[in-house]
Structure 1
Amino acid sequence: MTGPSTGAMRGRAALRPALALLLLALLGALLFRLIEIRTDMADFLPPAATPEAAFLLGELRDGAATTLLLVGLEGAGAPGGAEVPELARVSKAMGAALRDGGLFAFVGNGTGDLTEGEQALLFRYRYLLSPAQGIFEVPALRQGLEALLDGLRSSLSGVLSRLGFADPTGVFLEMLRGWLGGSTVTMKEGAWFAGGEGLPRALLVARSRAAGTDMEGQREASEAVRAAFAGAGPKGVRLLLSGPGVFAASAAAAVKADVERVSILSGALLLGFLVWRYRSGAMLLAAGVPLLAGSLAGAVAVALVFGRVQGAALGFGVTMLGVAVDYPILLLTARRPEEALGAAARRIWPTLRLAAGAAALGLVAMMASGFPGLAQLGLFGAAGLLVGVAVTRWGLPRLLQSEAVVARPLPAPVLRALGGLRGQRALAGGVVALSVAWLAVAGLPRWEDDIARLSPVPEAERNLDGELRTQLGAPDVRHLVALRGRSEEAVLRASERVGDALAPLLADGRLGGLDLPSRYLPSRAAQEVRQAAMPTPEVLSARLAEAMAGLPFRPEAFAPFLAAVEDSRTLPLLDLGALAAAPLISARLSPMLSRRGEGWQGLGLLSGVADAGAVRAAVAGLRDPGILFVDVKGETEGMIAATTRGALLWCGVGALAVLALLAAGLRGPLPALLRAAPIAGAVLVVLAVLSATGERLTPFHLAALLLMAGVGLDYALFLGRAEPDPTEAARTLAAVLTCTVTTLLTFGMLALCATPVLHGIGLTVSVGVAAAFLLALGLAPRAGRSIP
């Protein structure tokens, strides 16, 4: 046959697979216009087993704290006050742009904060907001007047001359100090700045309207902050941006960068290997048909059962369907010379369908995990594998001419080396025994119980987040009190009850600090009580005169004080809406008190918990189901442990189901156990490698093990068949080796990723697939012999 005619034949051979791929691509474009792709990562959150866990999951989904963006603005010049005006200008411009953008429910940066208007609001309501008691009694008034006299002789004389005669009790300044708490925020040029030494840093906090698990919404919010910064025309100013939403966007970007880099590298290597192996574009096109058909079938199945498709499940599902590429490789490589492709498909079909059915059955077990995301992933993979193998069996023989694809012979040294390993059961047993010995000495890999360690966000960014939180007075907490009620008032009353219950623990040091929403906004009931306790003008005048005895104050100097108390007795009660005019306090209160659906929710933040049992008992003593003490770390670890137990349980159920299917297909439990032995051995090898490298196990590792088992089962079933003809055995070995290399070129690259999840999946699958191939080869019968 001449060269041009051969090229023309190969071109015609590639035409049908190319048309099939084009048709599937058009179908996919139409399909994904009709199917809703969900990006909410809440689908991958574990189910809650306790009310405390349910609260935590709710906070992760919709909590105000998960939607906060923390912003710092720093200058690039030398320390000093020269940069402050420019930083303040940029902060104000950014705040205005973000408020006008509509993406944020709240933006606080000091603009308008502590101006005369807001100061007047807080100052007017000081006696309703302050929890101080007995301040209008003679002893307290006398103490306040003496402190005022001392202050007027100090550096604070300017402030006290303006405020002291209207508030000789000192309630207003004391209240502001208590509100600011651990925050080092100061006001400069009308904007918030971090206190302390070093370069000046302007601060801004914003809360996006998008839920914390809405990755696209959080990305848009982060981009809006960056756009506002650029639009402010900064001169020598550096933007520092942090917060859960920023972490989510950063993690998504890191994963995307890893995937793109790995896809390009592994794609190039895989393409090069297949071109070398088959010298046929038709082969490359044919291998893509079952994969694309399986992906579309998986998406349709998930959409029909769940009503929508989780984007992450779609991505992982397509990755797991890489197993489907093995099917055309096995068919085309194992085809005998001059054998029609349809005849080859019929010949290997019993083994191929058993392998695909067992792999699909193992994935179906994920549907019972209780995680919508993992359930979708299991259904997607199972449906895709079954359709992929069906397309391989009945579709490819109609798309490809038998003579169009001929595999290049493997190098003789490779065949000899692998032939020497075939049937070396002692060697295979030695590898497994070595793995077991390592696990006995070093122990199994530890389960990961810290979600933060799975994050691809660099440690420097996490440290910046902690620094900004401290400066803004929004510290991370381990312990908190959850408050739920039908109204804002109900939550605030519950907050006050918690404050009373925990006051003894604060007094004796078993609790270091307590921050409650009622600290910033008392309930209406508390405000009414404080109003009722205020003396009439006549009574207060008499007490003030008694308290001033012997002090160098003129009686008329405190007329503003008497007027303020009289005004406070009839003030309209303050609520969250009215307090929103005070950005500094609203910034602290906003994450701690918010509407949630038809009800309201509050957060009490605890610090320095020396006796968690006592705190739990004090909260439980309130006997209010709407008040919960939450140990965040403990509940998180408990959820992860429950998730792990459930995943292990259903992996075990899936393994038993696969064994049952193998026993039925191979007509006996012994052949089933022998075919499953390489998979079990590969699992032990993987666990030993993960233990030796210090990897911690996650549910993603279990998903990767399921994938590895599905791939390895192909190897065990095909290499374990009776092959009386050495040539036939060599052809099968070449087909399985080709599948192994393609899988390693894909998942081996994932092991190089910086993203912990992708790295763990890549390492698990690549080590497992290599071990499954070598163990299946070692346990396989030599040519001319057969195992049961």
Structure 2
Amino acid sequence: MSYVWRRRCFLLLLPLFLMAAFLFTRVETDLNAFFTATSGKDAALLASFLQSGELSRRYLITVEERPEAAAGNTGTPAQSGAETFAHAYAQALAALPEVERAWPANRPPREWIAAVQAYAPYYARIYSLQPEAEQELFDPARLQARADGLKQALLSPQGGFIRQVAKQDPLLLSLQGFRQLQDRLNTPAENNAKVSGLILQSRAPALDTAAQAQLQTLIRQRFDELNATMNHAYRLDMTGVPVFSVIAHDQINQDVMSVSTVSTVGVVLLFLLLFRSLSALQSVMLIVLASYGVGAVATTLVFGVTHSLTLALGSSLTGVCVDYPMHVLAHASQRRGENPGLAVRLVWPSLFIGALTTVVGYCALGLSGFPGFRQIAVFASANILATLALTRWVLPALLTRAALHPPHIAGLDAWLGFCRRYRRALLALLMTGLFASLALLPQVRWLDNLENMMMDMSALKQRDQDIRSHFTGIEPGRFVVAQGKDLETALQQSEAAELRLRKLKESGALGEFYGLYPWLVSAHLQQDNIDRYNRAVDSEFIAAWRAALLHAGLSADKLAPSAQPAAALRPDFALSPEVRQILSGQIIEQPESVALVIWLGDHDTAVVSKALEGLPGVRYFSHHDLLNDLARDYRDHSLVMLGWGLLLIYLLLWLRYRQLKKAWFSMLPATLAALFIFAAWAALGQEVSFLHVMCLLLAVSICEDYGIFFLDNGGKDINATYQAIGASMLTTAVSFAALGLAENATLRIVSVAVTFGIVLGFLLCPLLIGADAETSTSKSE
């Protein structure tokens, strides 16, 4: 096909392809999906837990009375102004179509009350978690006091609720099982009458950031409207997974915009400064844009979605992918009047092997075990290979009318000459640095806290803790898991764990815990309960209870215990939609097992872990500890992948040159640059993570291109070749340096490691490859 037709077809198809890529690509911003792997039982359990819908959709909201308003408040602690306002505010929020339910934190939602009433018929099977220790429930001497208490409860404001329960459970044994729930609802974390909390559950998933952002706007609008009627006497604050997800989404979008803008503008300005050709810039950027679209489509095809951080890191590929067209431009500008296709064919062997070594680096990155790198590996590989193909077969057609000027970077010729004149002295200095670097390597400090590599949300986390202090809430990220082959086994293990946790709570070592009892009760415990019930509730007990009822002025016939307690509480009843919402993701069904989660309040990790020792299938689970274990696994795997990556790059170079010496010289500058940077981190006391290791491998794979071009010297002019390599290095360095502007720590680590790696490797090329470059062309072509 002629260049004219190639040009026309490309310009016609590119807009259609980019539009299709935009519509096809699905972007996600879930940080857990990027940072947390799902391989391994623990990681898979964590992923399932993090994806549980009910808990993740909840907001914890506080309404606080302003100090100036509090001075004039005449409300009693039992019914403060903040509590009254929060109750009205909850009703206003519950009316929003985006809200599934909203309720004051110290009052159960209506669905919970109805669910508790539905458990009344099963009173004889669920009344105790440890029935052998609660025989006083059937002590005849206490029956009169219980009958009097029943009468008071029927006459209380909750009389309607008690009446419905007592019709089927006159001894209120089912409420005995639910007493911990009552304590949980009625005991505030802080006795502060000026602050009132409420809980809101959204309909949209927590990670639907667009819907959650709209809901958060409505939450604030309703508050402002209601607060205006109270002379702005209150202030609002809220936390929860949706709040974190919206802030993370906004921050990631800001990072993507700032990084991609600075990277693109920097590369464009450098290109214009070096080549001084708008038409050439237009041709190259069209190729880069097409390649970026290929990367996004390939990532979505493989993973179903493309993460925002992948797109942010992908923007750094602008500098990498520009390298290949720039080498063609640099050599074509040296041969003015010749067809650009000749320049492409001249440097094609170097372009091809250079692209392959870079792809190897990204693939090793993807095989490191870090989930986010898998997407980056696919995105980058598709991007680079697309750029390579378009440079080979499309770029010459786009450059037929472009005015080309050879690049010139001040100082490079002088550095090249300096390395030639003082090579021996510089090599001696380099060897000294090499031995010093090797001596420093054992001092490397490893960073094993994966949370330190995520987005810095320390201020938001502190605010989260402040808000949660007003709730009888759980500690996010730390819980107990009971895992069994089926639900019955898991329930028995969970009940054994709850018994030990109760003892910790009584001793003060555990602030609170939310188990599954009595919402879900094992068949074994149900049988134990009803056996003891049947032995205790005999004819004498029933007669004594009837006498106590009559003495209290209650109907003995209507409130007599049933001689035939209800059948077993079946899981299909207990796992109704209403109860599942109450349990809020505490049931995790896996292919070969069932895991039950017990939420924990304030506690000491060591004390809880020790208390659970010896319980089969039960263990303490910490999100923080798991992330740290993952970080250590990533670190060990990254070192292995570093070795395999370097070996594979060397093998590709050997296949290219068929000479061990040339393959070694080609990768030596990049490898030593990585070693020196690693040693510098050790000398500075910088904590090093698996991410630093993999980024240095990435720097080696990119910088290796410079060694290949320098060794091949395709234009047979080493000064012109080094200028072309310098132009490529600058655009790549600008792209990766732009990542340093991001708020995300991951992007900043990539920025530092790769930028310094490629610059140092570029500077070492003439020193380490030296005269070999000038004689290699004829042998390698």
TM bucket (normalised to shorter chain) is: 0.7 to 0.9
Conserved? CA contact 1:595–1:601, under 8 Å: yes
Find the residue that maps to 1:197 and give its secondary structure.
Answer: coil
Q: Residues 248-273 of structure 1: CA distance to partner in whole angstroms, max 9, x if unpaired? A: 33222112112212333343333333
Q: Residues 143-170 of structure 1: CA distance to partner in whole angstroms, max 9, x if unpaired? A: 9679989xx9xxxx98999999999999
Q: What is aligned with 1:604?
A: 598
Q: What is aligned with 1:70?
A: 60
Change (3 A) 1:783 1:632: closer
- 1:692-707 → structure 2 map (5 Å cutoff): 696-707=687-698
Q: Residues 214-236 of structure 1: CA distance to partner in whole angstroms, max 9, x if unpaired? A: x4x25523532432442453423
- 1:406-445 → structure 2 map (5 Å cutoff): 406-407=405-406, 409-411=408-410, 415-417=413-415, 419-421=417-419, 424=423, 426-427=425-426, 430=429, 434=433, 437=436, 440-441=439-440, 443=442, 445=444
Q: What is aligned with 1:405?
A: 404
- After alignment, is 127-136 or 637-646 more displaced? 127-136
Conserved? CA contact 2:317–2:380, under 8 Å: yes
Q: Is residue 56 from structure 1 mapped to residue 46 from structure 2 by the alignment?
A: yes
Change (3 A) 1:184 1:223: farther
In 2, the alpha carbon distance for the partners of 1:393 and 1:162 equals 81
- 1:263-342 → structure 2 map (5 Å cutoff): 263-299=260-296, 301-302=298-299, 312-313=309-310, 316-317=313-314, 319-320=316-317, 322-335=319-332, 336-338=334-336, 340=338, 341-342=340-341
Change (3 A) 1:361 1:592: closer
Matched AA of 2:699: M
Q: Residues 366-393 of structure 1: CA distance to partner in whole angstroms, max 9, x if unpaired? A: 5555667544432332233233123223
Matched AA of 2:345: R
Conserved? CA contact 2:144–2:545, under 8 Å: no
Matched AA of 2:201: A
In 2, the alpha carbon distance for the partners of 1:439 and 1:245 equals 48
Matched AA of 1:179: L
Q: What is aligned with 1:659?
A: 650
- After alignment, is 588-597 or 196-205 more displaced? 588-597
- After alignment, is 754-763 or 730-739 more displaced? 730-739
Q: Is residue 113 from structure 1 mapped to residue 108 from structure 2 by the alignment?
A: yes
Q: 1:325 deviation in Å?
A: 0.5
Q: Residues 184-233 of structure 1: CA distance to partner in whole angstroms, max 9, x if unpaired? A: 755xxxxxxx64237413221426563x6xx4x25523532432442453
Q: 1:400 deviation in Å?
A: 0.9
Change (3 A) 1:145 1:311: closer
In 1, the alpha carbon distance for the partners of 2:462 and 2:643 equals 40
Q: Is residue 481 from structure 1 mapped to residue 478 from structure 2 by the alignment?
A: no
Conserved? CA contact 1:124–1:568, under 8 Å: no
- After alignment, is 237-246 or 776-785 more displaced? 776-785
Which of residues 687, 697, 717 in structure 1 aligns to 2:678? 687
Stretches of structure 1 that go unaligned for 5 or more consecutive residues are 1-12, 187-193, 549-553
In 2, the alpha carbon distance for the partners of 1:770 and 1:326 equals 14
Change (3 A) 1:428 1:387: farther
Conserved? CA contact 2:122–2:569, under 8 Å: no
In 2, the alpha carbon distance for the partners of 1:20 and 1:576 equals 62
- After alignment, is 607-616 or 334-343 more displaced? 607-616
Change (3 A) 1:114 1:298: closer
**Aligned residue pairs: how many?**
740
Q: 1:326 deviation in Å?
A: 0.8
Matched AA of 2:597: L
Conserved? CA contact 1:291–1:324, under 8 Å: yes
Q: What is aligned with 1:178?
A: 180
Find the residue that maps to 1:591 and give its secondary structure.
Answer: coil
Change (3 A) 1:562 1:486: farther
In 1, the alpha carbon distance for the partners of 2:91 and 2:158 equals 29
Change (3 A) 1:175 1:747: same
TM-score (norm: length of structure 2): 0.78
Q: Residues 33-67 of structure 1: CA distance to partner in whole angstroms, max 9, x if unpaired? A: 45666766676466556534432232234465444
In 2, the alpha carbon distance for the partners of 1:90 and 1:786 equals 81
Conserved? CA contact 2:670–2:704, under 8 Å: yes
Q: 1:484 deviation in Å?
A: 5.1
Change (3 A) 1:694 1:343: same
Q: Is residue 203 from structure 1 mapped to residue 189 from structure 2 by the alignment?
A: no
Q: Is residue 220 from structure 1 mapped to residue 218 from structure 2 by the alignment?
A: no
Q: Is residue 646 from structure 1 mapped to residue 637 from structure 2 by the alignment?
A: yes
In 2, the alpha carbon distance for the partners of 1:326 and 1:239 equals 52
Conserved? CA contact 2:295–2:382, under 8 Å: yes
Q: What is aligned with 1:461?
A: 460
Find the residue that maps to 2:327 and give its secondary structure.
Answer: helix
Q: 1:769 deviation in Å?
A: 1.7
Q: Is residue 743 from structure 1 mapped to residue 732 from structure 2 by the alignment?
A: yes
In 2, the alpha carbon distance for the partners of 1:522 and 1:558 equals 35
Q: Is residue 252 from structure 1 mapped to residue 254 from structure 2 by the alignment?
A: no
In 2, the alpha carbon distance for the partners of 1:519 and 1:433 equals 71
Conserved? CA contact 2:316–2:739, under 8 Å: no
Q: What is aligned with 2:77?
A: none
In 2, the alpha carbon distance for the partners of 1:84 and 1:694 equals 52
Which of residues 583, 586, 604 in structure 2 aligns to 1:589? 583
Q: Is residue 363 from structure 1 mapped to residue 362 from structure 2 by the alignment?
A: yes
Q: 1:673 deviation in Å?
A: 1.3
Conserved? CA contact 1:148–1:168, under 8 Å: no
Change (3 A) 1:785 1:197: same
Q: Residues 594-623 of structure 1: CA distance to partner in whole angstroms, max 9, x if unpaired? A: 677998642124544546775564222xxx
Q: What is aligned with 1:243?
A: 240
Q: 1:29 deviation in Å?
A: 1.5
Q: Residues 679-731 of structure 1: CA distance to partner in whole angstroms, max 9, x if unpaired? A: 11121233244446665444544453343223211222223446997xx3332
In 2, the alpha carbon distance for the partners of 1:347 and 1:76 equals 75
Change (3 A) 1:23 1:706: farther
In 2, the alpha carbon distance for the partners of 1:200 and 1:508 equals 28
Q: 1:516 deviation in Å?
A: 2.1
Q: 1:590 deviation in Å?
A: 2.4
Which of residues 752, 768, 773 in structure 1 aligns to 2:762? 773
Q: What is aligned with 2:614?
A: 618
Q: Residues 73-104 of structure 1: CA distance to partner in whole angstroms, max 9, x if unpaired? A: 3344533444443332222211332xx437x5
- After alignment, is 374-383 or 172-181 more displaced? 172-181
Q: 1:406 deviation in Å?
A: 0.8
In 2, the alpha carbon distance for the partners of 1:598 and 1:618 equals 23
Find the residue that maps to 2:741 and give its secondary structure.
Answer: coil
Find the residue that maps to 2:291 and give its secondary structure.
Answer: helix
Find the residue that maps to 1:393 and give its secondary structure.
Answer: helix
Matched AA of 1:466: Q
Find the residue that maps to 1:202 and give its secondary structure.
Answer: strand
Conserved? CA contact 1:435–1:688, under 8 Å: no
Q: Residues 412-459 of structure 1: CA distance to partner in whole angstroms, max 9, x if unpaired? A: x56435643567465467468547646745855544433332332421
Q: Is residue 27 from structure 1 mapped to residue 27 from structure 2 by the alignment?
A: no
Change (3 A) 1:111 1:229: farther
In 1, the alpha carbon distance for the partners of 2:467 and 2:668 equals 54
Change (3 A) 1:47 1:456: closer
TM-score (norm: length of structure 1): 0.78
Matched AA of 1:283: A
Q: 1:739 deviation in Å?
A: 1.8
In 2, the alpha carbon distance for the partners of 1:501 and 1:90 equals 39
Conserved? CA contact 2:36–2:43, under 8 Å: no
Find the residue that maps to 2:64 and give its secondary structure.
Answer: strand
Q: What is aligned with 1:343?
A: 342
- The CA RMSD over aligned residues, in Å, is 4.9
- 1:107-186 → structure 2 map (5 Å cutoff): 107-109=102-104, 113=108, 118=113, 121=117, 130-131=127-128, 133-138=134-139, 141=142, 178-179=180-181
Q: What is aligned with 1:734?
A: 723
